[in-house]
Amino acid sequence: MNRKLVVFLSLMLCSCLSTGCLDEMELNDLAIDMGAGIDLVKPKQFSVTKQFIVPSKMNGSQTQGGQANNAYFIISSTGSDISECIKKNQLQLSRHIFVSYRRNLYIGENMAKHGIERTMDVFNRDPKNRLRTDVWVVKDGEARTLLRLSYPLEPFSAAAASQIYKAMGGEVGESFLNFLMDVENDSTYPTLPAVEIVSKVGEGQTKPAIQLAGRAIFDKNLHLIGYLTFDEAVERLWILGKDSYGFFHCEVPNQKGNVTVNITHVRSRIRTMIHPHNQVEINVELKGTGIVRENNTFLDLSQPENIDEVERSFDAQASKQVSNMIARVQHQFGADVFNFGENINRQHPVIWNQLRNNWKDEFSHANVHVAVKVAIRHVGLVGAPLAAKGSDIKQ
């Protein structure tokens, strides 16, 4: 076999082994799905709304000055199931729907209450859907209404919720994946972030706006059972050991005012004890670094003893606040959204096997104790509030 033939056969073999893109579509043949919404419009009738890029409007000059809504268009269809709605969406488009770039999926409240097991099946089954998608519940509203709102700071209103959440210190691109993992976990109840449509007054008129609304809680059958407020959702993240952009308002006794503290570098330690008759006791220790954002007392916070007074007040009030939040979830929902069951599984694996099948009731009756310890490290550029005068200031 001569040398040329060997080279030719080698090149042919390499070309067979190399990957190609003969079956891939050109970008000009794709309708890029930037965000989707699913609603239950009536019994056994669903709506799927999608927000698509308008490529010709994506240059900078046409997305400035509040004209971001020109960069996308909306298509909505109804049907007896999610797949039929998606098919009807495609029937309205001259290009093939491309979902791999979609980062946000919105679920209307009625749909969430109806149950989203079928919804999650459709989006989890298709490999083109991103696992690193943010899924949102639209509290007291519909997803299709939210997707039709304009949002002047982003080229696509579908991305607004994620960008707001990111600006508040939250991690984006993880809610769908975390939801799926919680569904498979027999001790933890799945949750999703929530947004709501609120009225905003501006330029002499009232306009709808998008706002974060805490956390939506689902039962094991994936039906919405309630919400945590935004502040409660921040407290939950602290229990899970995750930083967030949370503010706590601390009333300082005998000072006729309050101090607002932002907590960073959070730490959480959960210890569990099992008493006779499998009575569960959970001790939650929360720590963090405090940054004073506002001081409405007469305390000069440049003085260490005044810092100590604020820390004592904060620790006591935050401990009570978090305890009340956990108690509300226990008694109102019976849903462990704090990973307490996982901690029992790690610390008492033998006993957990006895508790796991009845964990909902065991969680509801567990004795939970919360202890907060915050160290205030930053008080800003001034010690006493600017309005305080002379003798009023406590040195």
Sign of the Cα pseudo-torsion (293, 298, 302, 307, in order): negative
Q: What digits encode the pLDDT tens for the residues 119-155?
A: 888 888 888 888 888 999 999 999 999 999 988 888 8
Residue 233 has pLDDT above 80, yes or no: yes
**Beta strand extents in the chain (DSSP E only):** 30-42, 45-53, 72-79, 96-98, 104-108, 134-139, 191-202, 205-218, 224-228, 247-252, 257-275, 279-295, 367-378
> Residue with structure tokens 């305390």?
299
User: What number of other Cβ atoms are within 10 A of residue 88's Cβ?
Assistant: 15
**On the CB side of 193, how many CA atoms lie within 13 Å of its CA?**
27
d(CA 372, CA 376): 13
In the numeric block, which tokens belong to residue 189?
A: 């109840």
At how many degrees (to 10) do helices 117-125 and 175-184 cross?
A: 110
d(CA 21, CA 386): 66
pLDDT at residue 278, as a whole number:
86
Residue 53 has pLDDT above 90, yes or no: no
The ranges of the chain annotated as CATH 3.30.300.210 are 232-395
pLDDT at residue 226, as a whole number:
97
Select the more confidently predicted residue: 162 or 63.
Answer: 162
Among 23-37, 55-69, 253-267, the least confident range: 55-69
d(CA 316, CA 312): 6
pTM listed for this prediction: 0.86
pLDDT at residue 68, as a whole number:
44
pLDDT at residue 392, as a whole number:
55
Q: What digits encode the pLDDT tens for the residues 337-348?
A: 999 999 999 999
pLDDT at residue 204, as a whole number:
60
Of the candidates 178, 212, 174, 186, the residue with the CA atom closest to the CA atom of residue 363: 186
CATH code assigned to 232-395 = 3.30.300.210
Select the more confidently predicted residue: 28 or 82.
Answer: 82
Residue 383 has pLDDT above 80, yes or no: no
Select the more confidently predicted residue: 256 or 269.
Answer: 269
Mean pLDDT of 28-38: 89
In the numeric block, which tokens belong to residue 164?
A: 């707001």
Q: Is 1 exposed, middle or buried (0-12, 13-18, 19+ CB in 10 A)?
A: exposed
Among 29-43, 51-65, 350-364, the least confident range: 51-65
CB 107 within 8 A of CB 35: no
> Residue with structure tokens 């309005």?
387
pLDDT at residue 118, as a whole number:
80
d(CA 189, CA 172): 20
